[in-house]
């Protein structure tokens, strides 16, 4: 192991040197394969290199489950240190130039200093996330029975004020969106009036909407269940779309991949939201059962590809109003979060590249002829092609690492953090 800063361009260049020859050979071979399909590999590489996804600040600390948390060595102890880890991810992958903050977890009394710290690390800020699903120390009113939809107007006002605080902090940081996810709902039939709770949601979010600067977007995030186990106020994309349409043109729906019932066809939801011109963005992650925060592409890479297939369709068709924000939203319980986040960013690029190389004219022809088998095979050929050389080329072209995990491990960064960031047990992030 060399003792090096993984953010140092010279270090990355020297790590790349050893891999350059095999990378060039693999890229040339894939280039020839794609040329036979009339696809220009360099064009795909350029598009992949332009792909961006935001890192969730809460993702760089070790997560946990409701049974326990096993902290990793050298976890960031505050938002400034979280940004340092985010910079490592960005330098090595060249795909994550922005960070999505969560208040109050990332609260600081000097957002100007935070903005400067980020700029010094080559980072900017993506959407702000509010948190009214937990009580904070010294908070006057409790969210135990809800926040934006609480029966007590004073609790709703407190939750609205918190969202406005997030907008104000984000305005200093250069963010241009607020993501609202609430845990409000009911654990028992009868506990809550399902219709009135939704009406209270609309009233509260309208007050937040009013406080948005002109160039901001409001992302409404739905989730089927948890922490409410019987009914959640914004449980699905239908509720979120109704709310977005009621609020106005700056309100959009955010699709967190982990927030649906098992077997739900998420790419279909994406297609519908694109049609409605209300797809605001994504929280990418993966899931198998009830968890909503596994690493993107780790369980169902084909589903991820199918989601990106819809995004590429919309991109190529220049679908009106299509400008989704890409964010990761994950919790890493048993891996080094930096490694998981780098891998996840790359998995998104992989799905994007696979979708980009689908032979769309051919696919359209097979669809028109109702050739079901060839339609399916043509689509799947994008997925089964190994696009890894494109991803490595895209990274290297932007100063990133050909093999980010190896370069990260070899640098000894985490071990050094273990020494320079002694003992912090909790980031105040609950189970995340
Ligand atoms: C929720 C939801 C939100 C995230 C919190 C931490 O399940 O995904 O986006 O902010 O978790
Ligand atoms: Mn989310
Ligand atoms: Mn979630």
Cβ–Cβ contacts within 10 Å for residue 87, how many?
22
Residue whose CA is at the smallest distance from ligand 1 atom 1: 181
In which residue are the tokens 């010094």 written?
Answer: 120
Between CA 71 and CA 128, with CA 432 as vertex, the angle to 5 degrees is: 125
* Ligand 1 atom with the shortest distance to the CA of 430: 6
> In angstroms, what is the span from residue 407 Cα to ligand 3's centroid?
30
Residue whose CA is at the smallest distance from ligand 1 atom 2: 181
Cβ–Cβ contacts within 10 Å for residue 386, how many?
12
Helix (H, G, I), strand (E, B) or coil at 176: coil
Q: Is 293 in the pocket of ligand 1 (CB under 6 A)?
A: no
Q: Is 221 in the pocket of ligand 1 (CB under 6 A)?
A: yes
Q: What tokens were used for 203?
A: 């009233």
- Report the alpha-carbon distance of residue 116 to residue 78 in Å, rounded: 16
* Environment of ion ligand 3 (residues, CB < 5 A): 292
Cβ–Cβ contacts within 10 Å for residue 286, how many?
22
> In angstroms, what is the span from residue 401 Cα to ligand 2's centroid?
28
* Ligand 1 atom with the shortest distance to the CA of 432: 6
Q: Is 256 in the pocket of ligand 1 (CB under 6 A)?
A: yes
Q: Is 260 in the pocket of ligand 1 (CB under 6 A)?
A: no
Q: Is 105 in the pocket of ligand 1 (CB under 6 A)?
A: no
Helix (H, G, I), strand (E, B) or coil at 221: strand
- To the nearest 10 degrees (0 to 180), the angle between helices 388-397 and 41-49 is 60
Residue whose CA is at the smallest distance from ligand 1 atom 9: 181
Q: Are 186 and 231 in contact (CB under 8 A)?
A: yes
Q: Is 432 in the pocket of ligand 1 (CB under 6 A)?
A: yes
In order along its 432 residues, the chain shows pLDDT tens digits of 668 999 999 999 999 999 999 999 999 999 999 999 999 999 999 999 999 999 999 999 999 998 999 999 999 999 999 999 999 999 999 999 999 999 999 999 999 999 999 999 999 999 999 999 999 999 999 999 999 999 999 999 999 999 999 999 999 999 999 999 999 999 999 999 999 999 999 999 999 999 999 999 999 999 999 999 999 999 999 999 999 999 999 999 999 999 999 999 999 999 999 999 999 999 999 999 988 999 999 999 999 999 999 999 999 999 999 999 999 999 999 999 999 999 999 999 999 999 999 999 999 999 999 999 999 999 999 999 999 999 999 999 999 999 999 999 999 999 999 999 987 655 544 455
* pTM of the model as a whole: 0.97
What DSSP character marks residue 57?
A: G
């Amino acid at each position: 192991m060399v003792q090096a800063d993984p953010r140092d361009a010279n270090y990355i260049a020297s790590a790349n040197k050893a891999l350059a020859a095999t990378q060039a050979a693999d890229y040339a071979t894939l280039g020839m394969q794609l040329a036979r399909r009339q696809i220009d590999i360099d064009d795909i590489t350029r598009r992949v290199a332009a792909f961006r996804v935001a890192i969730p600040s809460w993702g760089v600390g070790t997560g946990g489950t409701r049974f326990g948390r096993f902290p990793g060595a050298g976890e960031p102890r505050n938002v400034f240190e979280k940004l340092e880890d985010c910079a490592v991810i960005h330098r090595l992958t060249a795909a994550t130039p922005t960070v999505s903050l969560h208040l109050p977890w990332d609260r600081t009394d000097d957002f100007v200093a935070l903005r400067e710290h980020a700029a010094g690390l080559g980072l900017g800020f993506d959407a702000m996330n509010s948190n009214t699903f937990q009580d904070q120390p010294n908070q006057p009113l409790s969210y135990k029975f809800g926040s934006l939809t609480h029966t007590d107007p004073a609790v709703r006002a407190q939750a609205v004020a918190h969202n406005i605080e997030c907008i104000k902090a984000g305005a200093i940081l250069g963010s241009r969106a607020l993501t609202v996810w609430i845990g409000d709902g009911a654990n028992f039939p009868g506990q809550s009036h399902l219709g009135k709770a939704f009406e209270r949601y609309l009233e509260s979010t309208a007050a937040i909407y009013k406080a948005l600067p002109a160039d901001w977007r409001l992302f409404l995030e739905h989730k089927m269940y948890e922490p409410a186990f019987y009914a959640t106020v914004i449980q699905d994309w239908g509720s979120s779309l109704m709310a977005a349409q009621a609020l106005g043109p700056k309100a959009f729906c955010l699709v967190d991949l982990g927030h649906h019932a098992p077997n739900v066809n998420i790419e279909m939801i994406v297609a519908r939201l694109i049609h409605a011109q209300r797809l605001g963005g994504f929280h990418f992650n993966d899931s198998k059962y009830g968890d909503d925060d596994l690493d993107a592409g780790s369980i169902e890479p084909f589903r991820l590809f199918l989601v990106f297939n819809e995004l590429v369709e919309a991109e190529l068709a220049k679908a009106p109003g299509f400008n989704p924000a890409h964010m990761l939203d994950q919790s890493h319980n048993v891996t080094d979060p930096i490694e998981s986040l780098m891998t996840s960013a790359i998995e998104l690029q992989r799905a994007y590249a696979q979708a980009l190389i689908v032979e769309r004219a051919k696919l359209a022809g097979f669809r028109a002829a109702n050739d079901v088998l060839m339609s399916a095979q043509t689509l799947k050929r994008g997925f089964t092609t190994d696009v890894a050389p494109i991803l490595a080329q895209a990274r290297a072209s932007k100063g990133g690492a050909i093999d980010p995990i190896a370069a990260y491990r070899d640098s000894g960064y985490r071990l050094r953090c273990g020494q320079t960031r002694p003992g912090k047990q909790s980031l105040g992030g609950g189970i995340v």
